[in-house]
C-alpha cells in the first residue's frame, strides 16, 4: 500500500481543513480539545453541519447518501476532524446499523431509515448486551414472540450507551428458544417511543450518565422492522461487530490525544526539567507512538477492504485490541504526567466552567474521568480476550 498522498488527496485535505476552520463551532472545538463533556446537542448539531456539506456519511456509498470516498479520503477526514477538535460522529447509526440495513435490509427499510441517520434526525443505540450475556452474546434471553403482524418483545438489555437520547434501538432478540443459541436469534429495529420500553440510568464511577438499562415489557414491534430473515440475526450481528470493532480503533482520536499528552508532558516538570526529558516517561511515550503508527497502517488496510464491499476479517479484532490498549495507555500517561492534580472532579463542576484554581491546572481536571472511562474500552464491542480467541481461530486455526 502506498501511504503517500496523491496531489488530489492533498487538495482534499486542504478542503477539509478550510471547512473545519469555517464551520466547526468554537465551543465544540474547545470541549473536545480540552477533554470536556460534549453534549448530545453538540453531537446532533455537528452531524447536521456535516450533512449540509454532503459529508454526513463518510464511510457510505453514494447510492445510500454517503460520500463514496475511498479509504485514503476516509482516513484524511477522520484524522483532520479529530485534530481540529470536532465531536466524533455517532457510530451506532453510521458505523453499525446503517451498514447492516444497506447489506441485509429491504428497500423499504433502506429508504425509511438511512436518510434519517445521515441527516441526524434519528439517534440510534445498540441493544446487544444483557445482564447474563456480554462477551457470550449467543446466550442472550430477550424474547420476541410472533403475534400476527407484530413481535412481542420482553426482557432486559444493559450497558446501552446513550439510550437516554435514542429515537431507535437495534436489538438482538431470541425468536426460537428451541434452536441452538446462534440459530434462534433475530435482528429487530425498535422505536424507543413504543409503549412498554423503560430506560433506567446507570451512573458510572466518574459520576457520569453514559449507559443505561433498557427494559421491554410486552413491546409490540411490527414484523416489517425485522432485518433479513427470522432466526438469522447472528449472521447480521457478526457483520455489524466487524464494523463496530473497526470504529473502536479510533486512530484519529488517538493521534490527537497523543499530541495533547506531549503538550502536557512539556508543561509538567520533574527535578526542574520537562517530564519529556525523563527517560522512563519518554520511553513509554515513544512506545505508544510507534504502536499507534503501526495501528494506523492496519486501519488503512481495513478501510480499503470496506471500500471494496468486503466485511472486516480478523484485522477488525486486531484493531479493536490495539486501538483500545493505545487509548488506555494514553489516558494513563496523562494521569502520570499531572500526578496529584488528576484528582477526580464531578462532570457538573467541569461543565460549570472550572478554571483550575487553586487545586491545579485546568487541563488536568478532566483526566481522572477520562482514565476511568477508558477502562471500559477493552471490554465493550467484545472483550479483548474474546478478540484474541477470534484471531487464533481465524488465522491460526486453533
- Compute CA distances 12 → 23, 46, 123, 394, whole Å: 16, 20, 29, 37
- The grid cell for 80 is 483532520
Average pLDDT, the chain: 89
Are 65 and 151 contained in the same domain? Answer: no
Higher pLDDT, 270 or 198: 198
Q: Given this model, what pLDDT does residue 36 score? A: 85
What mean pLDDT is predicted for residues 97-110? 96
3-state secondary structure of 49: helix
What mean pLDDT is predicted for residues 290-294? 94
Q: Given this model, what pLDDT does residue 396 score? A: 79
Q: Given this model, what pLDDT does residue 343 score? A: 75
Are 257 and 203 contained in the same domain? Answer: no
237 in any annotated domain: no
Are 281 and 209 contained in the same domain? Answer: no
**Distance between CA 304 and CA 22 in Å, rounded?**
30
95 in any annotated domain: no
135 in any annotated domain: yes
Q: Given this model, what pLDDT does residue 347 score? A: 61
94 in any annotated domain: no
Q: Given this model, what pLDDT does residue 33 score? A: 93
List of E strands, 29-157: 124-127, 143-147, 150-157
Q: How confident is the model at residue 391 (pLDDT cuts 50, 70, 90)?
A: confident
Query: Is there a contact between 215 and 143 (Cβ–Cβ < 8 Å)?
Result: no
Assign residue 164 the CATH number of its domain: 2.40.110.10
**Distance between CA 17 and CA 19 in Å, rounded?**
5
* pTM, rounded to two decimals: 0.87
Q: Which tens digits make up the pLDDT trace of 261-284? A: 999 999 888 888 899 999 999 999
Q: Given this model, what pLDDT does residue 225 score? A: 98
Q: Given this model, what pLDDT does residue 228 score? A: 97
Are 195 and 280 contained in the same domain? Answer: no
Backbone dihedral angles phi then psi of residue 174, each to the nearest 5 degrees: -95, 115
Query: Is there a contact between 179 and 235 (Cβ–Cβ < 8 Å)?
Result: no
Higher pLDDT, 139 or 45: 45
Domain tally for the chain? 3
Are 337 and 225 contained in the same domain? Answer: no
244 in any annotated domain: no
Are 177 and 221 contained in the same domain? Answer: yes
Are 83 and 175 contained in the same domain? Answer: no
Cα of 42 vs its chain's centroid, Å:
16
Higher pLDDT, 398 or 212: 212
3-state secondary structure of 159: coil
β partners of residue 221: 151
Active site residues: 244
Q: 50-54, 206-210, 211-215, 328-332: lowest mean pLDDT where?
A: 206-210
114 in any annotated domain: no
389 in any annotated domain: yes
Q: How confident is the model at residue 168 (pLDDT cuts 50, 70, 90)?
A: very high
- Compute CA distances 107 → 101, 114, 143, whole Å: 9, 10, 26
- Compute CA distances 243 → 93, 219, 247, 338, 351, whole Å: 11, 28, 6, 35, 32
Residue 5 scores a pLDDT above 60:
yes
Residue 93 scores a pLDDT above 70:
yes
**Distance between CA 165 and CA 361 in Å, rounded?**
32
Q: How confident is the model at residue 381 (pLDDT cuts 50, 70, 90)?
A: confident
Q: How confident is the model at residue 1 (pLDDT cuts 50, 70, 90)?
A: very low
**Distance between CA 100 and CA 82 in Å, rounded?**
26
Assign residue 48 the CATH number of its domain: 1.10.540.10
DSSP at 80: H
Residue 243 scores a pLDDT above 90:
no
Query: Is there a contact between 237 and 137 (Cβ–Cβ < 8 Å)?
Result: yes
Are 264 and 391 contained in the same domain? Answer: yes
Assign residue 254 the CATH number of its domain: 1.20.140.10
> With DSSP H G I counted as helix, E B as strand and the rest as coil, what are the percentages for the chain, rounded to 5?
55, 15, 30
Residue tagged 487541563 (cell numbers): 363
Q: 112-116, 144-148, 297-301, 344-348: lowest mean pLDDT where?
A: 344-348
∠ CA 291-89-97, nearest 5°, is 100
Residue 353 scores a pLDDT above 80:
no
DSSP at 96: I
221 in any annotated domain: yes
Are 132 and 28 contained in the same domain? Answer: no
Are 222 and 274 contained in the same domain? Answer: no
Alpha helices (H) along 125-250: 233-248
Higher pLDDT, 301 or 286: 286
Q: Which domain holds residue 196?
A: 124-231
- Calculate the dihedral angle through the C-alpha atoms of 95, 96, 97, 99, rounding to the nearest 10 degrees: 60
Q: Given this model, what pLDDT does residue 205 score? A: 80
Residue 308 scores a pLDDT above 80:
no
- The grid cell for 306 is 470496506
Are 55 and 167 contained in the same domain? Answer: no
Are 336 and 383 contained in the same domain? Answer: yes
Q: Given this model, what pLDDT does residue 166 score? A: 98
**Distance between CA 21 and CA 245 in Å, rounded?**
30
Neighbours of 203 (CB within 10 A): 10
Q: Given this model, what pLDDT does residue 355 score? A: 59
Q: Given this model, what pLDDT does residue 57 score? A: 97
Cα–Cα nearest to 171, from 147, 155, 159, 188: 188
Percentage of the residues of the chain whose pLDDT score is greater than 90: 63
Amino acid at each position: 500500500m502506498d501511504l503517500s498522498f496523491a496531489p488530489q488527496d492533498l487538495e482534499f485535505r486542504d478542503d477539509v481543513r478550510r471547512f473545519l476552520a469555517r464551520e466547526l463551532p468554537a465551543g465544540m472545538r474547545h470541549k473536545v480539545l480540552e477533554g470536556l463533556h460534549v453534549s448530545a446537542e453538540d453531537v446532533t448539531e455537528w452531524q447536521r453541519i456535516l450533512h449540509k456539506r454532503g459529508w454526513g456519511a463518510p464511510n457510505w456509498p453514494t447510492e445510500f447518501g454517503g460520500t463514496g470516498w475511498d479509504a485514503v479520503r476516509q482516513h484524511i477526514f477522520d484524522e483532520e476532524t479529530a485534530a481540529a477538535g470536532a465531536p466524533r460522529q455517532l457510530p451506532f447509526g453510521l458505523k453499525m446499523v446503517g451498514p447492516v440495513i444497506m447489506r441485509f435490509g429491504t428497500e423499504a427499510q433502506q429508504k425509511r431509515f438511512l436518510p434519517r441517520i445521515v441527516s441526524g434526525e434519528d439517534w440510534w443505540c445498540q441493544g446487544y448486551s444483557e445482564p447474563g450475556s456480554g462477551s457470550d452474546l449467543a446466550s442472550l434471553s430477550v424474547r420476541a414472540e410472533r403475534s400476527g403482524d407484530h413481535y412481542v418483545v420482553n426482557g432486559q438489555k444493559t450497558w446501552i450507551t446513550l439510550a437516554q437520547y435514542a429515537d431507535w434501538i437495534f436489538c438482538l432478540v431470541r425468536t426460537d428458544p428451541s434452536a441452538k443459541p446462534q440459530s434462534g436469534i433475530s435482528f429487530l429495529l425498535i422505536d424507543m417511543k413504543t409503549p412498554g420500553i423503560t430506560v433506567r440510568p446507570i451512573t458510572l464511577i466518574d459520576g457520569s450518565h453514559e449507559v443505561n438499562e433498557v427494559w421491554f415489557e410486552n413491546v409490540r414491534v411490527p414484523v416489517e422492522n425485522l432485518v433479513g430473515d427470522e432466526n438469522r440475526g447472528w449472521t447480521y450481528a457478526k457483520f455489524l461487530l466487524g464494523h463496530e470493532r473497526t470504529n473502536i480503533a479510533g486512530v484519529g482520536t488517538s493521534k490527537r490525544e497523543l499530541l495533547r499528552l506531549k503538550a502536557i508532558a512539556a508543561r509538567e516538570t520533574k527535578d526542574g526539567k520537562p517530564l519529556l526529558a525523563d527517560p522512563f516517561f519518554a520511553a513509554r511515550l515513544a512506545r505508544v507512538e510507534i504502536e499507534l503508527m503501526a495501528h494506523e497502517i492496519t486501519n488503512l488496510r481495513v478501510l480499503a477492504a470496506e471500500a471494496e464491499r468486503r466485511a472486516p476479517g480478523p484485522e477488525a479484532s486486531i484493531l479493536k485490541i490495539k486501538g483500545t490498549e493505545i487509548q488506555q495507555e494514553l489516558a494513563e500517561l496523562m494521569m502520570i504526567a499531572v500526578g496529584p492534580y488528576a484528582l477526580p472532579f464531578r462532570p457538573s463542576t467541569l461543565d460549570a466552567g472550572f478554571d483550575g484554581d487553586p487545586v491545579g491546572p485546568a487541563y488536568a481536571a478532566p483526566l481522572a474521568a477520562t482514565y476511568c472511562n477508558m477502562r471500559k474500552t477493552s471490554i465493550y464491542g467484545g472483550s479483548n480476550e474474546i478478540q484474541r480467541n477470534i484471531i487464533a481461530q481465524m488465522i491460526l486455526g486453533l
